[in-house]
Chain A
Amino acid sequence: MSGVRVLVGTRKGAFTLESDGKREKWDVNGPFFGGWEIYHLKGSPADPNRLYASQTSGWFGQLMQRSNDGGKTWEPVGNKFAYDGVPGTHQWYDGTPHPWEFKRVWHVEPSLTDPDTVYAGVEDAAIFRTTDGGQNWEEMPGLRGHGSGSKWSPGAGGLGLHTIVLDPTDPKRMYIAISAAGAFRTDDGGASWKAINQGLRSQYIPDPTAEVGHCVHRIAMHKSRPSTLFMQKHWDVMRTDDAGDSWREVSGNLPTDFGFVVDVHAHEPETIYVVPIKSDSEHFPPDGKLRVYRSRCGGNEWEALGNGLPQRDCYVNVLRDAMAIDSLDSCGVYFGTTGGQVYASKDGGDTWAPIVRDLPAVLSVEVQTLK
């Protein structure tokens, strides 16, 4: 029988939520790594029992954890993230050069085909890879070696590489996004990277159409259309149909186009979801109403989905890695809030219910559809 496992990273530990394919009753397991920030955990598409988690602490630095049994037990693996060669500098908040300093792993992205291969997006922005199940991590230096690297500057949340999207049809192509540098693509397995920010417009940088400097919050892809990407930028929801070579805005009738998450329906590549947030000054939903917005036509025309979500006095945020999709016949949509709730819809967003209510602030949500 099919089932679903939801992987939740929070400010104070990790949790797994498990249900059968009906998605009506949920078992909550955890906290794992209690007291530690779990920026992200994710399962291997090639082996759903293989999970990886990023465990961080302002006191004790970075740890990486691996599970071989679907999250029942965990073991620490390698936690050394050393930049390749002489790290050099990026731009600091005051415009001066600042040495690259490793701070934490924001995102782990297991290979689509090999459970021992995982990519890690880190702050200060760089991408690392392990091919031995997390024991050793090596930087893929081509990204930081991009000619614009010395101009990258952190957003208020740091210079984090938070998004890694793998092309299921081309193992040499992947996309990443950095706050606040923008989006980049490699077509040669990470040896070289291209800034793919043409069409983005960001009023908060001196040249709103600059090659780099854009605060991309999240990128999502449907596996059947790997050249079509959807982006939630700091402001603006964007779309590309040419693998990022050009973007166009599809914010349309959204009440606000600021937000963090974006995701794509499992079976409908033109059905996308965002959670509008009032503004970058007020990180909560407009009017105290928590609503997911869905477009069934790839953007521009959006409908509000609030059935089952709090529609008054709600002032939580939904962070960039905190939405995910299952691939059951009736597509499930999940998101977590800074108020500690994880909401789920088992009908593509028409109706919602909390599957857990009182966790620490949720940093990330991933879903595994178990056959």
Chain B
Amino acid sequence: MIRVALPWHLRNLARVDSEVMLAVHGQVTQRSVLDALEAAYPVLRGTIRDHVTAQRRPFLRFYACEEDLSHESPDTPLPEAVVKGTEPFLVIGAIAGG
């Protein structure tokens, strides 16, 4: 199972209070993980990726295994530790600053 950690607002929307566990079929990539996430929690559609362009929202970042994967191709395979479920795939909201 793939572990996905969501920011607080998205956990509230999805009505989950901890990491989400997802079964992902085929290659595990950003796209396939987010597709599975949105299939399991339709309320999240449009909140992480733009509805029309499918691009990552600018103020969100994707981390895993202490790496920033935000600028990787959405079809690049995710690290083996994410695939095995030993590390989570992190969706992070940018710090607002101020």
- Is B77 part of the binding interface, using a Cβ–Cβ cutoff of 8 Å? no
Contact for A60 among B10, B51, B52, CB less than 8 A = B10
Instruction: Mark contacts of A95-120 with chain B using CB atoms, 8 A cut-off: 1 yes-contact digit, 0 otherwise.
Output: 00000001000000000000000000
Given contacts A59-B59, A59-B94, A61-B46, contact A80 B9 (CB under 8 A): no
Q: Please give the distance in Å from B15's CB to the nearest CB on chain A.
A: 10
- Is A364 part of the binding interface, using a Cβ–Cβ cutoff of 8 Å? no
Contact for A59 among B50, B51, B93, CB less than 8 A = B93
- Is B13 part of the binding interface, using a Cβ–Cβ cutoff of 8 Å? yes
- Is A227 part of the binding interface, using a Cβ–Cβ cutoff of 8 Å? no
- A61 contacts B9, CB within 8 Å? no
Specify which chain B residues have a CB less than 8 angstroms from the CB of A63 in the assembled complex: 13, 43, 46-47
- Is B60 part of the binding interface, using a Cβ–Cβ cutoff of 8 Å? yes
- B52 contacts A102, CB within 8 Å? yes
Contact for B50 among A58, A61, A76, CB less than 8 A = A61
Q: Please give the distance in Å from B54's CB to the nearest CB on chain A.
A: 12
How many of chain B's residues have a CB under 8 angstroms from any CB in A?
17
Instruction: Mark contacts of A49-92 with chain B using CB atoms, 8 A cut-off: 1 yes-contact digit, 0 otherwise.
Output: 00000000111111100000000000010011110000000000
How many of chain A's residues have a CB under 8 angstroms from any CB in B?
15
- B46 contacts A80, CB within 8 Å? yes
Specify which chain A residues have a CB less than 8 angstroms from the CB of B7 in the assembled complex: 59
- Is B45 part of the binding interface, using a Cβ–Cβ cutoff of 8 Å? yes
In the complex, the chain B residue whose C-beta lies closest to that of A75 is B43
Report how far A164 CA is from B85 CA in the complex, Å: 50
New A-B pairs, 18, CB < 8 Å, besides A59-B59, A60-B9, A79-B46: A35-B9, A36-B9, A57-B9, A58-B59, A59-B57, A59-B60, A59-B94, A60-B10, A60-B13, A60-B48, A60-B57, A60-B93, A61-B46, A61-B47, A62-B46, A63-B47, A81-B51, A82-B52
- Residues of A whose CB lies within 8 Å of any CB of B are 35-36, 57-63, 76, 79-82, 102
- Residues of B whose CB lies within 8 Å of any CB of A are 7, 9-10, 13, 43, 45-48, 50-52, 57, 59-60, 93-94
